[in-house]
Chain A
Amino acid sequence: MAPIDRLTRLLVRATARRWPDDLAAAVRDEWLAELAAITGPRRAYRKLAFAGSLAISPAVDEPSWPERAGTAGRAAAVAAGITLVAAVATNAARGSDAFAPALLLLAVAGVIAIGRRIRGSVTLVGLALFAFLFAGNPTPVMPFMGAADIAPAVAVWAVGMTVALRRTTRWATVSGGLVTLHLATMAGSAHAAAALGVPAWTAPAWFPLALLPGGTVAFGPLFNDGTATFGALQASAPAFHASDILLANAAVSAGPLLLCTAFLLAPALRRPRTAGARIETPPAPARTMETVLAAAPHSETQPAAARTAETLAAAGPHNETLAAALAHNETLPAAASSTEHPPAAAPGRRLSPAARETVAGLTGALAALAVAPLLPAAGADADVVLQRMIDNTTAFGFGFVEHPLGLGAVALLTAVLAMRATAHSASPTA
């Protein structure tokens, strides 16, 4: 048996194993028979194309690649969006000094409300947190915000949240989330504690203290001369305790972690359904053609495809346009099936849904471009940063928006989220 035959047979056997159990054996035998039937010129290429196409294509019950990409894109946008919301809310709360705890609680309620409508992925939110924290705080002036600090915090948080979300009771889930926040803060602050000489027994208090205004409690060595020298940071400032620096660094991640935790736990906070509760039936899959009439893949057998188009054209005078579209592999325009009617335009509405989404996206992007530069970056002035760390008013560095690429990414993300929110609110099943 030729190597190409071995390879293609191996490929179709492996592909068949991905298919549902009731079909796997039949499609395997069918594909092997078709491979054997491929003869003549370019036999090797045609066999490879046959087996390769099957190998890279989803099985009958699997979502298509565009569907998978769309799902992943939406999940990533949600993760990045909730991280940004958490960061902005945390900064706003911490900038209000004594009102910080109250505003943080308000923010928690807000993200819980969002989390009840939109599901998020622990892994993707963790990745977004790491990326934003790492990109937003330059380590030269935030010496304990490097990968060695952020990575353990986010990793512990992701593992803890995964475990917490698998708990079956509401209280076990919430307790798991709170324990996770404590452990993540400890993991993220261990490096700082070791460098600053902060005693380990204070670790359980780091998370709650990081959420309070600076100077609430002081512990650890006192830097009497007012000069901090660790890493690349050298700055003059009033005397401060090691705890000021440790808690300021912990606060950078503790606030967003708290809000992201609340967002992810929100679905578990719902009241369990009672026996008499109304059960909502999920909407039936749409059978409209507007989203599924994608252009067919390019084919080398265009003449045969043209014959199919001729068949369509012969089926009736109305089919000529369809036949032409199919013959050229064009994307067909949106159309509704016989069981559904196209949505009637609401009287008085001046904008179509697509136009409203576009307006929302543009508005969101412009708002992000206007607001993002005002967000507090960690800054490059060590004196200023140290002062803000001591009074614990810096919580999340938006250093990435100082770069055009970062600013553009934030604007794009805001536009996508605004468009999705508009589409979601307009959907009758939302």
Chain B
Amino acid sequence: MGGPRITASVLKVLAGLLAEPGAQRYGLELMQETGLPSGTLYPILARLERAGWVESRWEQIDPAAEGRPSRRYYVLTADGAVAARREVALMGQQMSRATGPVGRAQEA
């Protein structure tokens, strides 16, 4: 199974999920966490799920009793958590290489 294409938005979603790796995250929650609009977030979640990096489950509630339909939540898989950490770290390294001299100059 190939990995998803890594974009800045995908990294935001991965970072949002990594903030609490075992937590159940709803779409609205991830929108607030990442700042991404729904039209950007849901295609990313679908691609991550296809890649096996996240899995989704449906909330176990009685819709009639709750007065609302079941929501779908997402959680990082074990492989996904490893891959997400790797991609985030990798991007961090790349960014560090790209902006290193500037960063050092500022520090100095």
| B55 is an interface residue with CB less than 8 A from chain A | no
A286-342 with Cβ < 8 A to chain B: 287, 289, 292-297, 299, 301-302, 304-305, 307-309, 311-312, 315-316, 318-322, 325-326, 329, 331-338
Q: Chain B's interface: helix, strand, loop or mixed, by majority? A: helix
* Given A56-B39, A304-B32, A305-B34, A32 contacting B6 (CB threshold 8 A): no
Does the CB pair A318–B39 fall under 8 Å? Answer: no
Chain A residues with CB below 8 A from B86, complex form:
338
Assess whether A307 is in contact with B33, with CB atoms less than 8 Å apart: yes
Q: A37-B28, A311-B15, A326-B11 are in contact. Are A297 and B88 (CB under 8 A)?
A: no
Q: How many angstroms from the CA of A26 to the CA of B16 in the assembled complex?
A: 22
Chain A 215-240 against B: per-residue CB contact (8 Å), 1 yes, 0 no? 00000000000000000000000000
Chain B interface size, as a band, is 35 or more
Q: Determine which of B27, B40, B68, B94 lies in contact with A57 in the assembled complex, contact meaning CB atoms within 8 Å.
A: B40
Q: Knowing A53-B39, A304-B35 touch, does A335 contact B72 (C-beta < 8 A)? A: no
B35 and A57 within 8 A (CB):
no
Inter-chain CA distance A301–B70, complex, in Å, is: 25
A325 CB contacts on chain B under 8 angstroms: 8, 95
Q: Which residues of A contact B94 (CB under 8 A)?
A: 289, 335-336
Does A4 interact with chain B (Cβ within 8 Å)?
Answer: no
Cβ of B91 under 8 Å from chain A: yes
> Is B69 within 8 A of A289, CB to CB?
no
Query: In the assembled complex, how far is the CB of residue A330 from the closest CB belonging to chain B, in whole angstroms?
Result: 9
**B38 lies within 8 A of A50 (CB):** yes
Q: Are B98 and A33 in contact (CB under 8 A)?
A: no
Q: Is the CB of A33 within 8 A of B68?
A: yes
Q: Within 8 Å of chain B (Cβ to Cβ): is A23?
A: yes
- B8 and A316 contacting across the interface, CB-CB below 8 Å: no
Interface of B with A (CB < 8 Å)? 3, 5-9, 11-12, 15-16, 18-19, 26-28, 31-40, 42-43, 46-47, 68-72, 85-86, 88-99, 103
15 A-B pairs (CB sep. < 8 Å): A30-B71, A32-B69, A34-B38, A37-B71, A60-B47, A289-B7, A299-B35, A301-B31, A305-B33, A309-B15, A312-B15, A316-B92, A319-B91, A326-B15, A335-B94
